[in-house]
Structures are given as structure tokens and as C-alpha cells.
Structure 1
Amino acid sequence: MPMLTHYSDTSPTREEVDALKGAVLLEFGTNWCGHCQAAQPYLAEAFDEHPGLHHIKVEDGPGRKLGRSFRVKLWPTLIFLRDGQEVERLVRPTDTESIRRAMLGLYS
């Protein structure tokens, strides 16, 4: 599954996320957020090495239950999941290497 380019205004439930199998990157943010926009080139570069990684890109904000269940405070927040369990979290990443390392951690 390729990297998604826009945050979806619909999101899975926490129960659906917890039931996911395999490696998943759950990304919280908004399309208008400057920090989110700045992180996209780093994400794209990291995804070049992991094109099969399942990517869920969710718009976050007040009243959004999924983001609150993960205690998201800043955007973008990247949550790396293996079989529905959080393995690592990056908040406002500013480089490709930290994202690459987190992606590799999903497979070890």
C-alpha cells in the first residue's frame, strides 16, 4: 500500500486499529498544518524503502476520538503499530532517518 497524501476526515475506530494485523503507520495531523506539510518529504523518502507498509492518515482535532485514545497532542504524530500494538511514536519528525528507523523496528 503506498503512502497516502491527504488526511482522511473519516477514521477507523480504536477497536478496528487494535485488531489490525501486521505493520501499520498511523499518522495524525491535518492538511493545513505547517508541521504536517514539512514532514511529508521525509515520510515520502522513508516510504520509498517500505512501499508495502500499510498507512492510515487520519485528520485530527477536537472531538476526534481516535486521536484522543492515543493521547495525540501535537501534529504530525506518527504511531508505528505491529499487530495493533504501538511499537514506537514520533512527534513532529524533522528528518528521514528517524522515520526509517521506526519503520525498520516494525519488522524486528
Structure 2
Amino acid sequence: MSTVDLTTDSFEQTVTKDGIVLVDFWAEWCGPCKRFAPIYDQSSDANPEIVHAKVDTEAHQELSAQFGITAIPTLMAFRDGIMVYNRAGAMAGPDLQNLVKAVEGLDMDEVRKQVAEQQAAQ
């Protein structure tokens, strides 16, 4: 499966779906982003059941601001509509595959419980 370009209009609809969605915040001028792009594309091909999406931070600055993106590339992982990973920096292929496995292995009932506890504490 190829990567999906997200816009302000399509972002929420995409990341709130059931399943896993990876989102790469990037920019054309970013060297590390360019080096990470083929690794991300390979992950997309190897994991067709996972949505691999990209947000061009220059074209969609409002999304970058909404998520507090201060360094790129930044990779986020959502599962069943919940953000479970958010970190800046490019990854090597094996590290990205380990992340995919970790997100797949999450106990989402426990994650939902932790989210509810955090929200109650606010």
C-alpha cells in the first residue's frame, strides 16, 4: 500500500479509524525527512494493513501547530483513534518495524483505561 497524503480536512477522519495509522510529519527541504521517506515507504509496502500517512508541514502548517510539531520528521502512531506514539527523529527500518510490532501488541483496553484516568485527573 502506498502512503496517503493527509490534509487538514482528512486528518481527523483518517486517524480516528479503527486499526493502526502512522503519520509522518515532513517537509520537502528536510534532509532527514528525505532519508526517512524510503524507509517509511518500505514499511507501507510490508504492512499493507496499516495506514501510512504523511503531512507536509509546509502545506499544512495549522496541523503542525495543532500537534506542536517543532522538529521533523516527527512520527505519530494512532491505534483505534488514540495517539500511542509521538516522537521526532528519523528511524532506521528495523526500529520502525519494532514500533509497528509494539503498537500491534498494545492492550487497547488498558490504553483506554489509562487515557480515562488521565482525563479524570485534569
TM-score (ref. length: structure 1)? 0.76
Counterpart of 1:84 (choices 71, 81, 85) is: 81
73-82 or 19-28: bigger deviation: 19-28
Tell me, which stretches of 5 or more residues in structure 1 are unaligned?
none
- Spell out, residue by residue over 1:24-76, the C-alpha distance to the aligned partner (whole angstroms, 9 max, x if none): 01111123321111111222333343122112211114972222222111111
- Residue 103 (str. 1) matches residue 100 (str. 2): yes
Query: Secondary structure in 2 aligned to 1:106?
Result: helix
Corresponding pairs, count: 105
State the structure with more CA Rg.
Answer: 2
1:17, distance to aligned residue in structure 2 (A): 5.1
Equivalent of residue 35 in structure 1, options 32, 49, 52: 32
Does the CA contact (< 8 Å) of 2:20 and 2:50 recur in 1?
yes
Indicate the residue corresponding to 1:4 in structure 2.
Answer: 3
Taking the aligned partners of 2:43 and 2:25, their CA distance within structure 1 comes to: 17
Does the alignment pair 1:23 with 2:20? yes
2:52 aligned with 1:55, yes or no?
yes
AA aligned to 1:60 is T
Matched, 1:69 2:87: no
Q: Cα distance, 1:106 vs. partner? A: 2.3
What root-mean-square deviation, in Å, do the aligned CA atoms of Structure 1 and Structure 2 show? 2.6
Whether the aligned pair in 2 keeps the contact of 1:93 and 1:99 (CA below 8 Å) is no
* Equivalent pair of 1:28/1:60 in contact (CA under 8 Å): yes
TM-score (norm 2): 0.69
After the TM superposition, which of the residue ranges 91-100 and 12-21 deviates more from structure 2? 12-21
Q: In 1, are the aligned partners of 2:24 and 2:55 still within 8 Å (CA)?
A: yes
Mind listing any 5+ residue stretches in structure 2 that lack a counterpart?
Answer: 106-122
Q: How far apart in 2 are the matches of 1:46 and 1:62?
A: 24
